[in-house]
Structures are given as structure tokens and as C-alpha cells.
Amino acid sequence: MLKLTIALFVVVMESVSSDGSGVCENNIDRLCEISVKRCHHHHDDDDDEEKSFNPPKHALKLSAQKLLDSLPLDRVKDNAVRTVKRCVFSPSQPTPLRGKVQLAAVSQDVLKNILDLDESVTRSEDFVQRVSGGKLFPGSAPLAHRYGGHQFGYWAGQLGDGRAHLLGEYTNRKGERWELQLKGSGKTPYSSLALSEEAVWRDQFYNGTVRRERGAVVLRLAPSWFRIGSLEILARTGELDILRTLLNFVIEEHFTAIEPSDPNKYVRFFSVVVNETAHMIAKWMSVGFAHGVCNTDNFSLLSITIDYGPFGFMESYNPNFVPNSSDDEGRYGIGEQANVGLFNLQKLLEALHPVLSPHQRAQAERTLRGYPEIYHRSFHDLFKAKLGLLGDDEGDAYLVAFLLKLMEDTHADFTMTFRQLSDVSLLELQKNSITQTMWALWDLSSHDYFSDWVELYIKRIKSQVGDSEENRHHRMRGVNPRYVLRNWMAESAIRKAENNDFSEVVLLLHTLTEPFVENENAERAGYSSRPPAWASELSVSCSS
């Protein structure tokens, strides 16, 4: 459905850090040398500790050697918050959690199919320590990435991994390479907040009302964590030699269809990013996903969905849906995402300007002008598929727009309207014999023009020679999820987790791993039912 970063392990603890980043401060120097020297806190028993790590079936060994050999490191070894110059990464050790540490949830799919691990490994206390930052996996070389970015339209300067640590890369048995990163793992030179309380205090709505919350660490995976802001900061500070080095590294490692010796490789790279970003945002729209914070530091160079904080899946269809309560102007509302994508790509092009010739800049600008067409074609094709339409018809765009207008007017649920259209028969639509069990379609059918839309839709479906209702239903169920992460579902899981009951976290993880497949436990939990009344009172912010 979407190319997302993957959270494998979620670890929570009883007490949290004094720097407000989700871990506890301690009196031991956290800065370890990446080379031969070893920090006694992370490596109490040196090699004996690594030998003791012997999980069933497979031992996870990482490598950061390619990053260390190819990209410049921060020469300052102090982990203090500061302005960092002339590097891509800063060595920075995770801060071990203090107090009781619990493994809250594990993605079995990622565990087995990406990391080649047996499920029994999760029962090892040693392993829990490693996925929470208390110990390091063999081969780890923790790094914090330096980047900048435009936030809400304005240049924000140095940002960077303020509470995240890249541990290294794992190459699995299929030859896939995945970077493992801890989130919430302690202070780095890029941290922006330091507190002295022994808790995580959050002011969710920035109104002076703070509350104490338990901290957590997530081990997440992505093919790469480089983003538009990774290049922007180097262009902004005039570090053009490092800009070229990083660009060459990204192209050679992740854009392998581009020849490293091609004199136009940067233009070709930009063209791929433009194309893939347009497709990514169209896919967001097709499932009603609003990222929430579409800053350039949150936009991946690989066009994968990263750093989605106060995100939301639209419930009642609303083209102006804004998931982030901190976004007063609605800059990152769901209907603005395509435009914001164009803005971010323009900033990427500006970062590339110093390494492009005038002719190459003109080429890249022509490429960028093609972005709207790429986006609209992708959006059109995805929504046609959601309606089970085959081939092309000049009335298809109108059919989609007509339906969305009916949904807007009736406040019909976005996800379940399309899912229930995947289940309803044409005869039921024609006779308008929809029951309240199909609650989203029931709401939609109250519109005065619903029958007009149905007439057009049935005519279009019947024009598909050789297509059957069974085949149409099968296609539509494969692109219209039955389950998405709604705020009320997350809130329910959070309330239980605060009392050490992670059962709903596990249920959500299992359900959302296969969102197109009807799940008995998910049905029992009401995940495809009409949202409860209290759901409308929920909101999220950048501090949620």
C-alpha cells in the first residue's frame, strides 16, 4: 500500500531521561569511540558480551563500515548540543534506559522476513537491551545524522537526529540492505531540548498544560534515512565538496540504474525523485493519509514515508482535513500535500544548483514542471483502481470527483466507503437496498444525487467486457484497506499500554500488517465499525 519506514521493536520503561528524550541520564560518559576503543558501559565484558549474544537461529550483525569509509564524520567527539560543521554524521552513543525495560511489541513479519531472526530471540533479555540501546549489536557504530530543512515554509537551519541513533546496516539472506535506527534513544549533538526532571514531560497543545508520560524507544528500519534536508544543509553552508560526496554516495548505493560516470547523473537523480515523490503522495491520498509535518527534513530522497509524527488517516471525507493541531494555517492539510511536495522538490533543486551547470539546471526545471501531470495521472489511476475500473474512459475523472463530492457532503467515511463498495453488489446499489451494516454507504446513500452517481457507475462497470462481479470485488479489496490506524484505535491502545497492557498494541500491529484482510479479532474490537462518539474529541500535535 505505502512504502513506509518499519518499526520492528517498541520498548517502554518505567522511568525516563533527564534530557527529555525518552531515556535516563546516567553518570557514565556516553561517548564511545567508534574505532577500537570500547565504552565500558555498553561493553562491560568486551568480547565476552558479544559471545554471550547467541539468539536462536541467527545472530544479528550490523555494519556501518561503508558509511564510515565514504562519508565525513564529525571530528569533535563531544556529545554536547552544538552547531556541527563539515560532516554528514556525528558519532553518538545511545543512552541506556534506567529502570525496568519491557518489550511492548514486535513485527513478526520484519523479524522473520527482513532480519532473518527466529521469534524466540525476543524472549532474550540480552536482545531487549540491544533493541533499546542498552547494549550494541555486534558491528554497530552509532551515528547521529546532520541535516537541516524548511519547516512550515521557512529555513530552520541545523536540525539533525536529535534523539535518534543509526546503528548500522543489515544485509539479509535475500540481499536486501536495511538501516536500523533507534528513535528516542538519548541526546546527540543535534538535540534541541534538555530538562532536569526524571520524566518525559509533554505540553501536547503548547498551552502550558504539561503531563508526565512514560518514554519509549523504537527500533525502526528503512533502506536509507537520507532526506532532502541532508543535501540542503550542505548547500546552505557552502560545503560543496561534501555535497558532491553525499550525492555520489546516495546515487551509487540507492539509484543503481544511474551510471556513476554519467555527467548528467545529478539531473537523472532529480528526475527519479520528482517522479517517485509524485507517486508517493498520490498513494497517500488514495488511502486518506495525511503526513502531518511535510517539512523538507521529513521527505526522504528515496520517496519512502518517513518521520510521520502527528499524522492521521482521514475518517469522514474532508478535503481540508488537517491531522496536526499545531498546524493552525493548515499548511500540511491532506488537500495541500501535492502542492507541498512540489515546494519540497523545488528546495531540493535549489540544493542541487551549485553542482549543476546552467544547461542542467534548465533540464531539472523542465522536469519539475512535469510534476503536476505525474501526480494527477497517478492519483487518477489509483482512484480508478479503488472503484474497480478497467481501461480508460473520458468520464472516469468526473465519476471519481462526483463520488468524492457526495462523500464530502454526507461526511461519509473515506476508508469504509471504498471498502464497502468493494463488497456491495451492483444490484444492491441499483435498488438502493443498502443496509445499516454497510454504515458508510448508508450515509452516502442519503445524498439526493446518490442514485445519479450509481447510474453512471453501473453503466461504466457494465462496459467492462469480460469482467465479473467476483473479479471486480477481488481487485477492489486488494487496494481498499478495511483497516487504517484511526486516532481512537491508537488512543485505546495507549490507555491500555499505560497500565502495562500491550495486548491492543500487538493487535493493532498484527491488523495493520495485513490491512486488506478481514480479521476476526479486529472486527471484535470494532476496527471496521462506525467510530465511537468520543473519537471526534481527539487530536494530535507535534508533541503527541
Q: Is the pLDDT at 225 greater than 70, yes or no?
A: yes
Cell matching residue 295: 517539512
DSSP 8-state code for residue 312? E
Q: How many helices and strands, by DSSP H and E, does the chain display?
A: 19, 13
Q: Give Cα separations from 379 to 87, 374, 392, 401, 544 (angstroms).
A: 39, 9, 14, 12, 30
pLDDT at 259 over 80: yes
Nearest Cα neighbor of 514 from 489, 473, 484, 494 is 484
* CA 496/CA 504 separation, integer angstroms: 7
Dist CA 64 CA 58 (whole Å): 19
Q: How confident is the model at residue 51, as a pLDDT?
A: 42
Q: Stretch 123-129: mean pLDDT, rounded?
A: 93
CA angle 425, 430, 436 (to 5 degrees): 65
Give the pLDDT of residue 362. 99
Q: How many other C-beta atoms can be found within 10 angstroms of the C-beta atom of residue 95?
A: 29
CB 53 within 8 A of CB 138: yes
Q: What is the average pLDDT across 493-498?
A: 94
**Tell me, what's the pLDDT at 99?**
85
User: What SS3 class is residue 143?
Assistant: strand
Crossing angle (nearest 10°) for helices 414-421 and 469-477: 150
pLDDT in the model for residue 196: 34
Q: Where are the domains of the chain?
A: 6-225, 232-369, 382-477, 487-537
Q: Which residues pair with 12 in a beta bridge?
A: 102, 216
Q: Are 206 and 325 in contact (CB under 8 A)?
A: no
297 carries an active-site annotation? yes
Residue 196 burial (10 A CB sphere; 0-12, 13-18, 19+): exposed
- Residue 21: the pLDDT is 38
- Select the more confidently predicted residue: 40 or 494: 494
Mean of pLDDT over the chain: 89
Give pLDDT tens digits for 1-57: 555 556 566 666 543 333 333 333 222 222 222 222 333 334 444 444 444 444 444
Greatest distance between any 2 Cα atoms in the chain: 76
Highest mean pLDDT among 31-45, 200-214, 240-254: 240-254
Give Cα 432 distance to the centre of its chain. Answer: 39
User: Per mean pLDDT, which range of 50-64, 266-280, 316-330 is the poorest?
Assistant: 50-64
First to last CA, the chain: 25
- 163-198 pLDDT tens trace: 999 999 999 999 999 999 999 999 999 998 544 333
Q: Over the stretch 334-384, which tens digit does the pLDDT of each residue have?
A: 999 999 999 999 999 999 999 999 999 999 999 999 999 999 999 999 999
Closest C-alpha to 1, from 192, 280, 243: 280
> Helix, strand, or coil here: 250?
helix
List 19, 161, 297, 307, catalytic entry: 297
- Residue where the block lists cell 519509549: 216
Find out whether 323 and 250 touch, Cβ atoms under 8 Å.
no
